[in-house]
Amino acid sequence: MIPYGRQTISEEDIDAVVAVLKSDFLTQGAIVPAFEQAIADYCDVPHAVACSNGTTALHLACVALNIGSEDLVWISAISFVASANCARYCGAEVDFIDVEPETGNLSVNALQEKLIQAGQLGRMPKALVVVHLAGQPCDMAEIADLCRPYGIAVIEDACHALGAHYKTKPVGYCEYSDLTVFSFHPVKPITTAEGGLVTTRDDRLAARLRLYRSHGITREPELLEQTSPGGWYYEQQVLGFNYRLTDLQAALGLSQLQRLDSFITARNDLARCYDEKLSALPLTPLLQKKERKNGYHLYVIRVAEEKRDRLFAELRHAGIGVNVHYIPIPAQPYYRALGFDPANYPGAQAYYSSVITLPLFTELSEAQQDEVVHQLERLL
């Protein structure tokens, strides 16, 4: 089976992890701060706060914004469920914004219409979670222009998009958002096995991220509420979480980060090969917009809705590990039980019913890619 995605691990990666195993600190050592600084440098952003996975990174972003049970958070209708669950963990009410069927990304027109409706109802969201689906950045300038007049915080869910660029800046720069969230799951551009990270330009948000990541505990002298009696002293100032990344994981991420640009180049080259080799078939890759560089976490095609399910099953039977990213979040039973009807998001429904994710990873060979193309030619 050719998987839709997988990690690329080098001997240098293994050596970096082994070095930590032989060191004094498997966790809470110097490697996590080094990894955070390296990501901050890559994204040209003041603060990067690492944590245990992309889901906890999303949760921390919501907590940093002080989202609670009285608040409303809007989320792109197409994403993994964690993009919405993070707000529910805080007790917030959620709602969804429809997407562009041709990209799967949040629709600026749908957002504008939703804001008009919210104004009429007299209830605006506290935050908007914008998902850079498959690695392609959303229309962030337009989204920020719509949200800023209302004081709506913007969280970029860039779990697919480390290494992508919007206009002239790397995703994670936070020019048009308050926080950006990354994931380092094995199928993502780089991996820490499991891991996540949040970037921000806001000192106050960064301090809250760090505090809530580690039980709500601080030892920093300038942050203590009482005079320290000695070097053992610490304070739990809020009810936080154990969302730390280990030094083992950070060592893998730090090693992988050295090859991120080459990984993104390889993914873009493979995507161009797919574009060329599939151009004569009755399918359409996701639309690629101008003024952005795709991180190509995923290569997604759209086919006729009546053919999608059969094609998916036959490709799997032929040893091609295709997938579907994603089922609309409002269609999930948990969210249906909250009163959501997926029919209210026609863009998301049109996207979902037509898409298939093809194998795309850094070490996908020419022979493997040709086999994917051959099977599509045979079945279509």
Ordered mean pLDDT values, 10 residues apiece, the chain (380 residues)? 97 98 96 98 98 98 98 98 98 98 98 97 98 98 98 98 98 98 97 98 98 96 93 96 98 98 98 98 98 98 98 98 98 98 98 98 98 98
The contacts found for 311-318 with CB under 8 angstroms, 24 or more apart, are: 311/356, 311/379, 311/380, 312/356, 314/375, 314/379, 315/356, 315/375, 315/376, 315/379, 318/375, 318/379
Question: Which of 257, 275, 304 delimits the end of a domain?
Answer: 257
Q: Are residues 208 and 173 in the same domain?
A: yes
- Please, what is the angle between helix 247-257 and helix 260-277, to 10°? 60
pLDDT at position 48 is 98
Count CB neighbours of 93 within 10 A.
16
166/25 same-domain check: yes
Instruction: Please tell me whether residues 249 and 304 are part of one structural domain.
Output: no
Q: What is the pLDDT of residues 128-147, one digit of tens each?
A: 999 999 999 999 999 999 99
- pLDDT, residue 67, reads 98
Q: Is residue 92 domain-resident? A: yes
Point out the domain boundary residue: 233, 257, 281.
Answer: 257
Q: Is residue 2 part of a domain?
A: no
157 with 54, same domain: the answer is yes
Same domain for 92 and 140: yes
Q: Which residues pair with 136 in a beta bridge?
A: none
- Per-residue confidence (pLDDT) for residue 191, from 0 to 100: 98
Structural domain includes residue 4: no
**Cα–Cα distance for residue pair 245/178, rounded to 1 Å:** 22
Residue 5 forms part of a structural domain: no
Is there a domain that residue 184 lies in?
A: yes
Q: Does residue 299 share a domain with residue 200? A: no
Closest CA to 302 of 76, 103, 79: 103
> What is the distance between the alpha carbons of residues 132 and 78, in angstroms, rounded to a whole number?
10
Q: Going edge to edge, which strands form the sheet with 196-200?
A: 47-51, 196-200, 179-183, 153-157, 127-131, 72-76, 93-97
Residues in the chain: 380
Domain boundary residue among 225, 257, 289? Answer: 257
Amino acid 311: pLDDT: 98
The pLDDT assigned to 309 comes to 98
Whole-angstrom distance, CA of residue 85 vs CA of residue 91:
10
3-state helix, strand, coil in the chain (%, to 5): 40, 15, 40
Residue 60 burial class via C-beta count within 10 angstroms: exposed 0-12, middle 13-18, buried 19 and up: buried
Nearest residue to 380 via CA among 255, 279, 252, 247: 279
Residues 165 and 59 in one domain: yes
**Residue 99 carries which DSSP code?**
B
**CATH number of the CATH domain containing 353:** 3.90.1150.10
Q: What is the DSSP string of 66-84?
A: T--TT-EEEEESSS-THHH
Strands 153-157 and 127-131: parallel
What is the pLDDT at residue 132? 98
Residue 294: per-residue pLDDT? 98
| Cα dist from 102 to 99, 232, 365, whole Å | 9, 57, 28
Q: How many domains does the chain have?
A: 2
How far apart CA 189 and CA 183 sit, in angstroms, is: 9
Question: Are 194 and 274 in a shared domain?
Answer: no
The answer to the question of residue 3 being in a domain is: no
Residue 185 sits in the same domain as residue 321: no
pLDDT of the residue at 120: 96
Distance CA 311, CA 269 (A): 25
Range of the domain at 101: 11-257
Q: 6: how many CB neighbours lie within 10 A of its CB?
A: 16
Note the pLDDT of residue 233. Answer: 96
In a domain, 366, yes or no: yes
Question: 247 and 291 share a domain?
Answer: no
Q: What is the CATH number for 31?
A: 3.40.640.10
Shared-domain flag, residues 276 and 252: no
Tell me the two tokens of residue 377: 């030619």
Q: Are 97 and 77 in contact (CB under 8 A)?
A: yes
Is 6 a domain residue?
no
Q: What are phi and psi of 271, to 5 degrees?
A: -65, -40
User: How far is residue 35's CA from residue 251's CA, in Å, rounded to a whole number?
Assistant: 7
Q: Within this chain, do residues 309 and 205 fall inside the same structural domain, yes or no? A: no
